[in-house]
């Protein structure tokens, strides 16, 4: 008896239309889908872990010191607007997250407390436990005289702050 004649004509048409795939192809597809799903789950888990670890490292980061200077000399006197000298606010970070850069910013606040100037930068890749960084600003004769302040931020967190007199 011919083996083809034992198969239902409808079943034979299904097999021929499917390109010869049989029931065995389904477990192979399921295995591929499972492997791809597992790879995506692992990638998402690794991304989540890295985010969590970085957030904790940023929380543990401390400040070793913060100093405001002009011309390489610590600012213990009033800065003048006319001179156009550059003020430099230096901060040393302890235990910053290593292996990536940091997003930092400075805000220069006028005597009234409003933010007059902003600096924003991204550091190089951090590779040390003590990481010095800084921001700078030139004041002009049009800036208001009085008690100013500068603060360095990592996101919303204030890392360091100093007040100074501007004449």
The model's pTM is 0.63
The pLDDT tens digits of the residues spanning 9-35 come to: 777 777 776 655 555 557 788 888 888
Backbone torsion region of residue 73, taken as left when φ is above 0, otherwise alpha when ψ lies between -120 and 50, otherwise beta: beta
CA-to-CA separations, 149 to 22, 132, 156, in angstroms, rounded: 76, 20, 17
**CATH superfamily entry for domain 61-166:** Macroglobulin (MG2) domain (2.60.40.1930)
**Domain coordinates in residue numbering, the chain:** 3-58, 61-166
The pLDDT tens digits of the residues spanning 140-150 come to: 888 888 999 99
């Amino acid at each position: 008896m011919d083996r083809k004649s034992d198969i239902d004509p409808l079943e034979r048409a299904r097999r021929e239309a499917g390109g010869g795939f049989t029931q065995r192809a389904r477990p192979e597809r399921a295995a591929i889908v499972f492997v791809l799903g597992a790879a995506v789950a692992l990638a998402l888990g690794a991304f989540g872990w890295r985010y969590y670890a970085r957030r904790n490292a940023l929380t543990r980061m401390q400040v070793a010191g913060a100093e405001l200077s002009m011309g390489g000399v610590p600012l213990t006197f009033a800065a003048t607007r006319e001179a156009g000298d550059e003020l430099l606010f230096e901060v040393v970070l302890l235990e910053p997250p290593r292996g990536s850069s940091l997003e930092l910013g400075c805000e220069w606040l006028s005597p009234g407390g409003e933010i007059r100037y902003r600096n924003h930068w991204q550091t190089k890749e951090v590779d040390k436990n003590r990481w010095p960084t800084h921001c700078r600003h030139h004041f002009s004769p049009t800036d208001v005289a009085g008690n100013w302040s500068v603060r360095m931020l990592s996101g919303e967190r204030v890392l360091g702050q100093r007040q100074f007199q501007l004449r």
